[in-house]
Amino acid sequence: MRRTHLMLLAVALFPLTAAGGEDSLSRLPGYDRYVKVRDAAQLLNSAGRVSGIEWAQDGSSLTFQRQGERFKISLQDFSLEPLGKPERSPQRAVRPSGVGRSQRVPRAQQATEAYSPDGKWVACYRAGNVVLEEAASRAKDGAAEKARDDGAAEKARDGGAAEKARDDGAAEKTRDGGAGSETIQVTTGGGEFYRYGNGCWVYGEELDQDSAMWWSPDSRKLAFYEMDERHLRNYYLTTGNTDTYTGLQVVRYPKAGMENPFVGLLVYDLDTKQTTRIDVGGDRLQYIYHVRFTPDGSELLFNRTNRRQDTLEVVAADPASGRSRVVLTESQATWQENRPLMQFLRDGKRFIWATERTGWKHYELRHLDGRLLHPLSTFGEYPAESVVRVDEDAGYFYYTAYSGDHPLNAQLHRARLDGGEDARMTGAPANHTGLEISPDHKWFVACREAVGEPPRTALLNASGQQVAMLAEADGTKAEELGLVAPELFTFKADDGKTDLHGILYKPARFDPERKYPLVISVYGGPESRGVSNRYSAADAHCEFGFLVATIANRGTTGRGKAFESATYLKLGIVDIQDQADGVRFLCQRPYVDAARVGIFGHSYGGYMSALALVKFPDVFHVGVAGAPVTDWKNYDTIYTERYMRTPRENPDGYRDGSCLTHAKNLRGQLLLLHGLADDNVHPSNTWQLAHALQQAGLRFDMMIYPLSKHGLGQGSSTLRWEYLHRHLRPEPLAE
């Protein structure tokens, strides 16, 4: 789980506008204010930041771009020199057609072509099998096709001479075997549900497998998937839903507790013309993914995890013999991250590895032979966030971690690659972004910001002392519009000890003496980011008369493994409790109208929105749920079982986290949105909730998008705000 035509069903109590675009918001009172604040916020959010940083090779200066102008700052006396507008970047050279083209891969699918690193071969997935073609002849074929097309146009002008030339060319191509091309049929016997060189929907969506064929660095070996879905059940989606007759799209989609595809790995050797089967292990329920060759091509690496996904193994295999060995193993009591960072150093043997073994994400240096060499980051009770820079020549490793006084503030650290010092380089009570390190390691650039603090970008020395300010936001425009800085608020979870955070946005010229309806924007799913302590000048939708808030419930990232795992086996229980408690906390404020609370979200956020109305009808009164998973038995194996195990193992969790269980409690206004072609969260989720509500004699609203997949397309956002405005009835704001 990650990210038209309109049709209104007859279950609606009120007529809904089939919105045609965002500008239909102009019908709402406060639209002019909304446009002013929206446009101003876009400018304010970018102010105080720099881009295009370049360090002089001699270490004397730094150039950067600030709001469309270039500047140079001396690293001796820190004097600033304006350089004017930047020169326009030169246009990229156009790659010849058919040679090394990157392929745009649709969501949850795999590329059907893979070009070898040397550009000589292209591996193709065709009708269930793998075929190799010479890339050069493919380019010639593409040129010939273009020539044929051009010839057809010429024919219209010259009365047939071009056609004869084209026919002569086709005959010549037939005589020389396609311009000297070679085609190698690597596999045979593949078909619709037993395929080579292709993956499957659930691997694409949940394991990020957008490829199923992988070349060795020397272009002499090709690894590829063997995918067996013959034992899986079909899910049917209708296609052509606005045509006179519909069609069917068949999706092999394993749902929670059901059977998964069986996956193998094979390697074809261009020199020996032999195919070798890789030993992936004997557990047919396991997942095999993140396939890649080692930097020197001597071994094939892949990640392997059991069906519960609580144990991860990185496995190395000999592509010639197929024998495999385990490089390292990571385990968790709940779920283990499936794809931790594994970044190789230049020698192609040592690598930086991200581990949560202690309950906090940290980095260590490991070797392909299985050895743990040493930790890189201090194993403190805070999580590292991301690698900023690795300089092997100087022996430095830079990374960010939430190691300061506030758990949402990223700080810059520098460690030695040999396992020496790990020093924090920043200490300001702010979130540090936009980090750039000088080649000589004497200086770095950092942008410091917070939710209610506009960004400021400074130049600092290696001790973390500021030596120059490079960019600072001007608050004049915000003052003119009366913008109120958003607030990062904190409250306790129902365990009485865990701090939870949220962001509250208020309209311009906010009046604390009046009451405002509150709207919660939610996603909240596991492994998603809850809130970030980054500046955002305003939420322009507040100008329609709302307060808007986002709450980071337990289960989201950046707070350590215990925080992330709090929703394990309890999706729709702990997370929605945190959302309700956050609303109750805000409703203690006199300007928040506790009788007018709305919530909206899409996908997991759609699930949370629908669940909020049926599980906490005393807290939430209006909801807009886009593509909601209404019962976890409807969703795929890999995502659902990672956090919930199977329905047989966790019947109480599936029951208590289902919208269907609580549907009879609906008292507020609920709008369901879904695309009929959604192959991710299937439309049956919404049909099941609609049926449960109808069985309980309850009314609700629904908008169906006949041609949309998981994204709903034009008009859905407008419809959401129209619906919230209609039922929360915010009072117009004073000009």
Residue of 684, 704, 678, 669 lying closest to 630 (CA atoms): 684
Q: Is the pLDDT of residue 157 over 50?
A: no
Tell me the pLDDT tens digit for each residue of 544-562: 999 999 999 999 999 999 9
Confidence check: pLDDT of 148 > 90:
no
Percent of the chain's residues with pLDDT above 70: 89
Which SS3 state, helix, strand or coil, does residue 172 take? Answer: helix
Please, what is the Cα angle at 331 between 330 and 334, to 5 degrees? 140
Residue 483's pLDDT is what?
Answer: 95
Residues 6+ apart with CB under 8 A from 204: 107, 108, 109, 110, 210
Put the strands of the sheet holding 547-552 in their side by side order.
7-8, 701-705, 669-675, 622-626, 592-602, 516-521, 547-552, 499-505, 487-492
Query: What is the per-residue pLDDT for 499?
Result: 97
Contact 602, 717 (CB under 8 A): no
Mean pLDDT throughout 132-142?
80
Question: How confident is the model at residue 167, as a pLDDT?
Answer: 42
Q: Looking at residue 103, what is its pLDDT?
A: 74
**CA atoms of 491 and 514, how far apart (whole Å):** 23
CA-CA distances (angstroms) from residue 262 to 72, 147, 307? 58, 44, 12
Write down the pLDDT at residue 97.
42
| Interatomic CA distance for residues 415 and 43, integer angstroms | 36
User: Has residue 374 got a pLDDT over 90?
Assistant: yes
pLDDT tier for residue 705 given thresholds of 50, 70 and 90? very high
Please check the confidence at residue 580 and state whether its pLDDT lies above 60. yes
Q: Can you say how many angstroms the Cα of residue 633 is from the centroid of all Cα atoms in its chain?
A: 23
What's the rounded mean pLDDT across residues 90-105? 56
Rounded to whole angstroms, the Cα distance separating 441 from 130 reads: 48
Q: Is 664 helix (H, G, I), strand (E, B) or coil?
A: helix
**What is the pLDDT at residue 92?**
52
pLDDT-based confidence at 732, cuts 50/70/90? confident
pLDDT of amino acid 321: 98
pLDDT of residue 140: 66
**Residue 660 pLDDT exceeds 70:** yes
Structure confidence at residue 75 (pLDDT): 96
Cα 166 to Cα 180: distance, rounded to the nearest angstrom: 18
- Token pair, residue 432, equals 């540090």
Q: Which residue has the tokens 């001479």?
A: 161
| Mean pLDDT for the stretch of residues 28-55 | 94
Confidence of residue 138 (pLDDT cuts 50, 70, 90): confident
Whether the predicted pLDDT of 109 surpasses 60:
yes
Dist. CA 266–CA 212, nearest whole Å: 11
DSSP element (H, E) containing 114: strand 113-115
Say what the pLDDT of residue 95 is: 44
263, containing H or E segment: strand 262-269
Q: Are strands 516-521 and 547-552 parallel, antiparallel or unpaired?
A: parallel
Which residue(s) pair with 215 in the sheet? 222
Provide the pLDDT confidence category of residue 367 given band limits of 50, 70 and 90.
very high
Taking 90 as the threshold, does the pLDDT of residue 178 lie above it?
no
Please report how many Cα atoms fall inside a 13 Å half-sphere around the Cα of residue 91, on the Cβ side.
Answer: 3
Query: CA separation (Å) from 658 to 236, 608, 654, 680?
Result: 23, 10, 6, 18
Percent of the residues in the chain that have a pLDDT greater than 90, as a whole number: 83
Mean pLDDT for the stretch of residues 40-64: 95
Flag whether pLDDT at 379 surpasses 60: yes
pLDDT digits (tens, 9 = 90+) for 505-520: 999 999 999 999 999 9
pLDDT higher than threshold 60 for residue 150: no
From CA 598, how far away is CA 608, in angstroms rounded? Answer: 12
Orientation angle between helical segments 604-615 and 574-586, nearest 10 degrees: 70
Q: Quick one: pLDDT at residue 671?
A: 98
Res. 9 pLDDT band, cuts 50 70 90: very low
Ranges of beta strands (E only) in 158-259 are 183-185, 194-196, 213-215, 221-228, 234-239, 247-252
Mean predicted confidence (pLDDT) in 593-598: 98
| Phi, then psi, of 187 in degrees rounded to 5 | -130, 155
Token pair belonging to 159: 């009365």
Q: Residue 251: helix, strand or coil by DSSP?
A: strand
β-partners of residue 347 are none
User: Long-range pairs for 381-388 at CB < 8 Å and ≥24 separation?
Assistant: 381/560, 382/407, 382/560, 383/356, 383/558, 383/559, 383/560, 384/354, 384/360, 384/413, 385/361, 385/410, 385/558, 387/341, 387/343, 387/352, 387/363, 388/412, 388/435, 388/437
Q: Angle at the Cα of 657 (from 713 to 726), degrees rounded to 5?
A: 45
What pLDDT does residue 169 have? 43
Which of helix, strand or coil describes residue 669? strand
Query: What average pLDDT is seen over the chain?
Result: 90
Please name the amino acid found at residue 44.
L
Give the whole-angstrom CA distance, residue 728 versus residue 516.
9
Q: Which domains are delineated in the chain?
A: 7-44+481-728 (3.40.50.1820), 135-183 (no CATH)
Q: What is the pLDDT of residue 137?
A: 80
